[in-house]
Structure 1
Amino acid sequence: MLASVIQTDRLDLRPLGLADIDSFVDLHAEAWVTRFVDPYPRDRALARLAEVERQWTERGYGLFAAVCRDSGAFIGRCGLNYWEQFDEVEAAWTLHPTAWGRGYATEAARACVDWGFEMFGFPRITAMIRHGNTASVRGAERLGFSPRREEIVAGHPVTVYVGDRI
C-alpha cells in the first residue's frame, strides 16, 4: 500500500477497511446521506469494504476513512475509486451530516485528487454526482471539475464531472 495516511490541516485520511464496518454502516444509514448514496446494511457493507481493501492491494489506492485530527471522530469516507465499467478513477466523498458545512469534503477531496495526480499521474479524475446533489456539485466545482457527460451508475442517473491534470 503506497499511502498509510494523508494529513490535511484538520483531517487524517487512512485506508478504509473492514475494521471500519460499524462507522461505515452508520454513515450509510443516515437519511440525509442516502438521498444520494445507496444504504449499506451490514452484509452489503462487508462486501463493499472487502472490495475497497482489494483495490488498495491491487491498485495502491482506494477509499480513505476521514477522521478529524482533533477529536479522532470518523466523519466519513473519501478517496479514489476505480470504475472498471468506465476505465476511470473517481474522486468520491461521503461525509456524515454532522460534518457538513465546514469545508471538510473539499479539504479531503482536494487532498485525494492531488495525491492521485502526483502519485499515479492520472490524466484526469472524475466525480460521479447524482442528479439533485447540489452540495457535491459545488464541491466538484471547487476542485476545478466541470460536467462532461451523463451516465447511469448503480441504477441512478449521474452527471460525470471531470478534473484534468494540469
Structure 2
Amino acid sequence: MASALGQWAPRGYSVMVVEDGEGFAGRFHPYSTDDPLLVYAIVARAWGRGYASEGARLALDWMMATHGPRRIGSNIDPRNTASVRVARKLGAVPEGTTEWAGATLDVWAYYS
C-alpha cells in the first residue's frame, strides 16, 4: 500500500478506496514495467456486490480521460475467475502471461 500511495506525487495517480473501505481500485505503475496497470481488490465480505466491476470501470474511465488513451494492463491469477470476469466485462483482451512475485499471471489489456 505504501508504494501505491507514493505514486500520487510523482505520477499523479494511484489507487482509490472503494465504498466503505471494502477494497481498492485504480492505476498502479510498478517502476519495473513500461505500462500502467489497472488494479482492483475487494475484501471477501463484500464479494458479489459489484464493487470490483464498478470501481474498476470508474478507475479505467478516469485513467483514459485524464492520462490519455493508451494500453492499460491487468495481471490476473488465472484461478481468480471473478477477476477474469471483471476484466472481460470491462473489455480487456488476453495477451499472454507474466511472472510477478514468483507467480505466473495472465496479462489482460484494455485499449481505448
TM class, shorter-chain normalised? over 0.9
Of 102, 126, 130, the residue aligned with 2:49 is 102
Residue 58 of structure 2 corresponds to: 111
Number of residue equivalences: 112
Of 71, 76, 84, the residue aligned with 1:137 is 84
Do the aligned partners of 2:78 and 2:84 also contact (CA within 8 Å) in 1?
Answer: no
Deviating beyond 6 angstroms after TM superposition, the runs of 4 or more aligned structure 1 residues are none
TM-score calculated relative to the size of structure 1: 0.65
Of 17, 22, 25, the residue aligned with 1:78 is 25
Residue 12 of structure 2 corresponds to: 60
- Partner Cα separation in structure 2 for residue 97 and residue 65 of structure 1: 15
- Partner Cα separation in structure 1 for residue 52 and residue 13 of structure 2: 18
| Shift in Å, 1:84 | 2.5
Q: Can you list the C-alpha shifts for 1:34-68, whole angstroms capped at 9, x where unaligned?
A: xxxxxxxxxxxxxx32x22220111010011112x
- Partner Cα separation in structure 1 for residue 90 and residue 12 of structure 2: 23
* Aligned-partner residue type, residue 144 of structure 1: G
| Shift in Å, 1:105 | 0.4
| Shift in Å, 1:156 | 0.7
| Shift in Å, 1:151 | 0.4
TM-score calculated relative to the size of structure 2: 0.94
Q: Which runs of 5+ in 2 are unaligned?
A: none
- Partner Cα separation in structure 1 for residue 51 and residue 14 of structure 2: 18
- After the TM superposition, which residues 1-166 of structure 1 pair with which residues of structure 2 at under 5 Å, given as runs? 48-49=1-2, 51-67=3-19, 73-165=20-112
* Aligned-partner residue type, residue 60 of structure 2: V
What is the Cα-based RMSD across aligned positions, in Å? 1.1
